[in-house]
Structures are given as structure tokens and as C-alpha cells.
Amino acid sequence: MSRGFLVVLDSVGIGGAPDAAAFGDVGSDTLGHIAEACAAGNGDGHGRSGPLGIPVLLSLGLGAAHRGAAGTEPPGLEAAAATTGAWGHAAETSRGKDTPSGHWELTGVPVDFDWTYYPATVPAFPPDFTAALIREAGLPGVLGDCHASGTEIIARLGEEHLRTGRPILYTSADSVVQIAAHEQAFGLARLYELCRIARRLAPDTVGRVIARPFVGTGAADFARTGNRKDLAVPPPSPTLLQRHSDAGGPVISIGKIGDIFAHRGTGEEVKASGHPALWDALLEATGTAPDGALVVVNFVDFDSLWGHRRDVAGYAAELEAFDRRLPEFLARLRPGDLAVLVADHGNDPTWPGSDHTREQVPVLLAGPAAPRGDLGPMAFADVGATLAAHLRLSPGEYGRSVLGRPA
């Protein structure tokens, strides 16, 4: 029996979502705009300069997938470099452009209900929710209560948080409640308990409550830590992970995967923060995972460090660093293994605001069991159906395997 790997490049969208207009994202193109900026010299910084250099990803078909989705071929994304594996471009049907929706649909469970979103007002949260949170957690109050970027609001309100003991409460365009607090002054365990209270008080249609611990002594050196915790609602039906686990198959979840799937079917959960640590954990799992294993990993820094912060140079440098380590992973795949590299949404660093963008995503199939050639347009759920077929699971309700499909 062979193994399956689902590698999510968080937010590496490739433009062209058919329903982008409904989200205000017509024209967004995370990868294409990064490549254009680099070619124009506007992507220099973070130790990199010049055209975007991702030859390994291009050899797997990333440029070809971008051309299929967006219809353009920016410098640095030449589709002619595709030489191995199979590639396609996938569109999402779920009603949100958030992390849970993307991951769940990729694993066979589209989100067919409306998430609860909070308005871009001050306050953003309903007064009864905030009052109950303050009362049940014994807080002196809260700060923020607004839409914000996580790094910006910590820099703006972190010192007041230290003076008053009031945690920082905020949201975004996603269906999310986020609470930031100082890891030592407020306490990590206390922050986690506060988020558990918020999870209980928030509607089930709020996708996640996220604990955002940070450290530092002032605005100049505040920094978020790797002890983030997501309290997600569970998927509405069994995902690929749950179905494989229920069938007795080994599942290894690396990084934030356990939180995204509310620990349903996530098997052995390997904690890792930051791309270097995530790469180390993935390579370790690739070397040790038994036959029949499903290994799932999310490379979150593309999204959290660079997309939301609208940092083109940082995003480009992260893509190039990912590309440099990718051969280590591919070399460790065994006969019969199938790896699928994909994204969950876009987060165009050239786009206004700081939120995700509604885009198509690349689907790159690699490894000894990968087919060859252009798979064309796909659905997100086709990714889960393909891995299910590879792992010899019965078909789920959504998606169609590309294995055996003519290129």
C-alpha cells in the first residue's frame, strides 16, 4: 500500500476565481502579482531581489496552473518549465474564503451554510457577547473590539494591555473571534481558558476562536509566539482525514491541521511553528510514516506573516525558501507515494486591506504515483477524492478523483 501527502501552501492563490466579484476580489492574483512585482524590482527585500525564482515548483506545473487559472504568464512563472507531475487549477464552492472552509472542502466537505461575520464597526462584537465574556472570565474589560490586523493591533494596544490587564479582542473579514494577550503578564493558560469561554459563548456559525499570545516589553519589540491555538467548530460531516482514520488508516497532522479540523480524525498531531520547523516535521514524517498513511501539513507563514501584512518581498522570499527545500521532500517519497501540493485561498499582498482574496488555487500532483500532464479546471473537493482513491477509500459525496482521468 502507498502513502498520501496533502501539503497546503496557505494562501498561494493563482487568481481567476469565477465568483470573485461576490467577494470584491476581481483581479486579485496572489502568485501572479508577486511575480510581476519581483520582475519590476518592487519585490526586492528580505534578502532577495530580481525575478521570482521557484524552479522546482515550476517543474511541477505551478506556472502552467497559473496560466490556466488567470490566463497570464508573468515573468518568473513561465509555464514551459513544467516537466514532471500533473497540474490543475481548482475553484471553491464554499461560501467563505477562510481557512476552515478551504481545508474542509479540499478534504471533501464543502461548507454549504453561511458563517457568522462581524461588522467593520466599533464595537464589532454584540454587546451581550462582550459583556458575558468579561463577566464569566472575570476581566476588567477588553481592548479593541474591532476589525484589525493582528500585528498592527498588538503594536497599537499591547502597552495598554500590559498596564490594564485587559485582553485585546478583534476580528477580521473571516468568521473569527481573536483574542491577543501577553504570554507572561496575562498568562498562556489564562488566555486559553478565556478563548474556551469565548468559544462557548460564540455561535456555532463562527468558524474559529483564536488565541494570539505575544511577548515583548513594548510596541517596538512585541512579537506573536508559536503558541497560537485555534478553537474551530467541527466539520459538518466526515472529512478525508476522519474517513481514513475511521477505516483504520494512520493520519499524521502537522502544524495547525489539528486545530483546523477540530481534532476530528487528525490522528497523530505534530506541533510545529514556522516554516523551518514545519519542513523538519514533514521530512521526519516522510521518512517514518507507515504504508497507508495520510500526512497533512499547512505552511501558514505565507498567509500569516506576509499575505495579511501585504509584504510582497517577504512573500516572494518565503516562496523561494519553500522551493529550495522542496527537493528534500520529493526525494524522500517512496514508490507508490502521491503528494498533492495545493492552496486553500488567496491572500494577494498587492491587494487593498489585509484579508484573504477569493482565488483559484494550484493543484500539483507529485511523486511516484502522480499522473502526468494538464488536469485543467478542478473543484476543491477533487483533491480529497483523488487522495481517497489513492488510499483505497470509498468515494465520498463530493469531488471526483483525477487518477486515471485523461490529461
Q: What is the pLDDT along the chain (407 residues), one digit of tens a residue?
A: 599 999 999 999 999 899 999 999 999 999 999 999 999 999 999 999 999 999 999 999 999 999 999 999 999 998 888 788 999 999 999 988 999 999 999 999 999 889 999 999 999 999 999 999 999 999 999 999 999 988 899 999 999 999 999 999 999 888 999 999 999 999 999 999 999 999 999 999 999 999 999 999 999 999 999 899 999 899 999 999 999 999 999 999 999 999 999 999 999 999 999 999 999 999 999 999 999 999 999 999 999 999 999 999 999 999 999 999 999 999 999 999 999 999 999 999 999 988 899 999 999 999 999 999 999 999 999 999 999 999 999 999 999 999 976 55
Look at residue 209 in the predicted model and tell me its pLDDT. 97
Question: Which alpha helices (DSSP H) does 230-311 contain, by range?
Answer: 240-246, 257-260, 275-288, 301
Numbers of helices and strands, H then E, in the chain: 13, 14
In the chain, where the domains are located? 4-112+236-390, 127-232
Spatial CA neighbour of 169 closest among 215, 130, 214: 130
Q: Where are the beta strands (DSSP E) in 104-227?
A: 143-147, 168-171, 176-182, 208-215, 223-224
Spatial CA neighbour of 354 closest among 179, 151, 143, 118: 151
Q: Could you tell me which residues come within 8 angstroms of residue 248 by beta carbon, excluding any fewer than 6 positions away?
A: none
Question: Which alpha helices (DSSP H) does 142-267 contain, by range?
Answer: 150-164, 188-201, 240-246, 257-260
377 exposed, middle or buried (CB, 10 Å; 0-12, 13-18, 19+)? Answer: middle
Assign domain 127-232 to its CATH superfamily: Phosphopentomutase (3.30.70.1250)
Q: What is the pLDDT of residues 15-51, one digit of tens each?
A: 989 999 999 999 999 999 999 999 999 999 999 999 9
**57's grid cell:** 515548483
Class (C level, CATH) for 4-112+236-390: alpha beta
CB atoms within 10 A of CB 47: 10
308 exposed, middle or buried (CB, 10 Å; 0-12, 13-18, 19+)? Answer: buried
In contact, 142 and 153? CB cutoff 8 Å: no
Look at residue 1 in the predicted model and tell me its pLDDT. 56
* Same topology between domain 4-112+236-390 and domain 127-232: no
In contact, 385 and 399? CB cutoff 8 Å: yes
